[in-house]
């Protein structure tokens, strides 16, 4: 993720624009920032009175609760050779959580759990 512009640069942009000599486009060219950044910065300053950046959104929360994660761990320990699709069905039966196999895969990666498959031995060549 990109770093936020410094508070010093932000305040210099606001001060330059408020002097009334330059337009938004000219201000953005002078400070080598995007025109939309200057517009958004002016809106932020007008509404909040501050030029500090807004906090990060944080991303999506997990679909799994802590109890559901524990159930998933138990299912994996008991049925280590199941596929992700089968795990999804078992998870839905045990706790009513309907998620895709890819969601289960991501959760297993977070937990550092792997599904061990016992592959059949290779056929001898004749």
Residue-wise pLDDT for 95-125, tens only, equals: 888 999 999 999 999 988 887 666 566 666 6
> pLDDT digit string (tens) for 50-97?
999 888 888 888 888 889 999 999 988 888 888 899 999 999 998 888
Query: What is the DSSP annotation of 65-109?
Result: -HHHHHHHHHHHHH-TT--HHHHHHHHHHHH-----HHHHHHHHH
Report the predicted TM-score, pTM, of the whole model to 2 decimal places: 0.51
Q: 14 pLDDT band (50/70/90 cuts)?
A: very high
Q: Could you give the C-alpha distances from 37 to 1, 9, 72, 124, in angstroms and in order?
A: 16, 12, 45, 66
The secondary element (H helix, E strand) that includes residue 24 is helix 24-31
């Amino acid at each position: 993720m990109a770093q936020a512009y410094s508070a010093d640069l932000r305040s210099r942009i606001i001060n330059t624009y408020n002097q009334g000599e330059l337009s938004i486009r000219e201000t953005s060219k002078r400070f080598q920032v995007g025109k939309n950044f200057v517009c958004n910065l002016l809106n932020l300053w007008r509404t909040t009175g501050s030029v500090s950046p807004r906090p990060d959104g944080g991303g999506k929360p997990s679909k799994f609760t802590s109890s559901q994660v524990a159930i998933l761990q138990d299912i994996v320990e008991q049925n280590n050779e199941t596929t992700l699709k089968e795990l999804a069905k078992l998870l839905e039966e045990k706790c009513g959580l309907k998620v895709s196999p890819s969601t289960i895969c991501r959760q297993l990666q977070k937990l550092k759990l792997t599904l061990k498959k016992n592959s059949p031995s290779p056929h001898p060549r004749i």
